[in-house]
Structure 1
């Protein structure tokens, strides 16, 4: 069973944000699939969690990596919280490409670049599911970039017309992009993926038959798959909310349950995974036939599956035993030079772990969300920037060892104050 919970932690219990991960772990009633700070003030931290009741296998011990000189930036675009940039359909693609150009490897969420029939493809972008980013940031796993993954597809039991359309997408991606899709499995019953909304207004989700989902994943792994795509019809979507999303006024309602599905498979099976809506919601009460540009990719695509199949092709593995052929590279948390995140959504594991490890956190003001968890609320020291163009410049400065104080004005003159005090003594 998968449940969504809300925990309130008193400031007397957690005096510093660095203590939050341990404090949250003490409150959990099941295996955490996802958690984040949804609100914070001088009295308390509010944490929203998604937990799985059954035990999951522990991850294998991380293998130390030799220094390789690869600079990694982690760019967080959390799903279901209404990110102005990246909260729609691949609309963080340009910002992602810009950040990637400033570093050797950019680790980011699939939803940052997914846009149904469209997807940003860049050799410097590591298409990395959220629970993998969390574990990577905690130093529990490395990320191994494969030459290519073998993708297996779980298709939810649905109307013949819908399944046929999914199979046509699978064959198109094979024929046009050369993606190695080893096989597919159609579930015996609907998966039962439901969208839900937390008290903060963020979207999460639950699954009726998680055991069946994991059984199907195992069948595909037994047939040689090294990455798992899932496509299902998300239930409990409010047409008006979804229409407002396409008008640029509402978070993506399906993002939360998609994260739950992928997190569960990754944690249970140890391979990359991602979810896509089988058939995108149609016949919405739209205010205008031309929707917000950020969501247009979803509206013009019948299904959300194509981008997931293309993204999983090169998604990092969390173990070097699931790779096909030679590895491109392996990186660990020691390679991370910065974490980039929306300025009002800093309560996730990667930011908190970066702050604990002394890794610079770049907070982007323009990427506002429905949350209000900023550096001040958490007591964090961050590098705040206006947008992603400035963030890319900060990344370059960090990599080159250029002090940020020297490229902004006014600039401090060392020694002037000391001489003044001496002269007046």
Structure 2
């Protein structure tokens, strides 16, 4: 917590940071490459609410003590005011492994989970293997955004239910994703590795976690199981975090270990967080059609749209009737947040401050003489 809001008469300043999954975001569309922006935003607010796509960097992660790691569906429910967030000291994590994962690859993921117990001290329950292969398929829309389907969502939900019955408070899912054999998919993957394309697996990952959170109301995040790729010295630094090991699981387990629990209004507690406490939300300027952005844009929340975080979408908030503050970069967004938190109008930080003028309502304007200035 920052000391500026520790005195009487002030409430914590809360910001939400969203980078949609699978839309080719220039920042946050690769392997944890939005995490530096999240670190800076977190440094100027009391509480940052964000989601796995922002925080996950395969085997790399960065613990932010004032950040809340919230799955996308749960974040939408929170922003709509249906669910609250209850901070926790720790979660007991249940690990669900797709039956389609080969023995050697499954062993690598189990070793990664065991390493987080021994090295990070995380609380993991015994793992559950699904009773059928989940059958992940990957798709790409004409816009370039990615999505996917599961042939056996029932098997995923049964495994998650077993893990919860065994005492898990949060669920980590590892599903076997198809290796890129189609020529178009190979090209998409290569462009992604070079820092020039869309993450083909990201959209399907969101489908998996949404299913679990929607059914059980517990934190969930997903890590894909993929065959290791051959070394390529041209891999972009933005994608390099996914090249350094056999699994993307460590960041997921670290995030879930302290992910807030979801609560409903009937179970409201003194320390819970609700949408009406959110002061600002930061989002790519071209990707404002998500549930969290739309819900919060209808409230007092300041919407900050970042122009240089381009995506494959073209959904500005202005086209949906909203009025964001558009900034060029996350550096500028941080400045707007700092000013907002300090109660300083951004115009006061510019060379020219305009004069005040009389407010004219549409009704007043209709009865004024035509030559009225």
* Range class of TM-score, shorter chain: 0.7 to 0.9
Q: Given that residues 151 and 313 in structure 1 are in contact (C-alpha distance below 8 angstroms), is that contact kept between their aligned partners in structure 2?
A: yes
Deviation at 1:415, TM superposition (A): 6.3
Aligned partner of residue 396 in structure 1, secondary structure: helix
> Whole-Å Cα distance in 1 between the matches of residues 195 and 279 of structure 2?
33
Q: Which of 156, 159, 172 is 1:216 aligned to?
A: 159
Matched, 1:92 2:39: no
Q: Is the 8 A contact 1:128 1:315 kept in 2?
A: yes
**Runs of 4 or more consecutive aligned structure 1 residues displaced over 4 Å after TM superposition:** none
Residue in 2 aligned with 1:206?
149
Paired residue for 2:202?
A: 255
Aligned match of 1:118: 60
Q: Which structure shows the higher strand fraction?
A: 1
CA distance in 2, matches of 1:409, 1:377: 31
* Correspondence list, 1:157-306, <5 A: 157=99, 158-235=101-178, 237=180, 238-279=185-226, 281-283=228-230, 289-306=233-250
Q: Deviations over 1:78-103 (max 9, x none)?
A: 11001111110011111001011111
Taking the aligned partners of 1:113 and 1:309, their CA distance within structure 2 comes to 12
State the distance in 2 between where 1:203 and 1:239 align: 15
Matched-pair contact (CA < 8 Å) for 1:340–1:364? yes
Query: How far did residue 377 of structure 1 move?
Result: 2.5
Normalising by the residue count of structure 1, what TM-score does the alignment of the two structures yield? 0.77
SS at match of 1:381: coil
Residue in structure 2 matched with residue 354 of structure 1 by the alignment: 296
* Alignment partners' CA distance in 2, 1:72 and 1:328: 16
Structure 1 residues 15-56: Cα deviation after superposition (integer angstroms, max 9, x where no partner): xxxxxxxxxxxxxxxxxxxxxxxxxxxxxxxxxxxxxxxxxx
Deviation, 1:329, is: 4.1
Structure 1 gaps, min length 5: 1-66, 322-326, 417-424
Provide the rounded CA distance (Å) in 2 between the counterparts of 1:186 and 1:249. Answer: 35
CA contact (8 A) 1:70 1:331 kept: no
- TM-score computed with the length of structure 2 as normaliser: 0.87
Q: Is the 8 A contact 1:129 1:272 kept in 2?
A: yes
- Offset, 1:281: 5.0
**What count of residue pairs does the alignment treat as equivalent?**
344
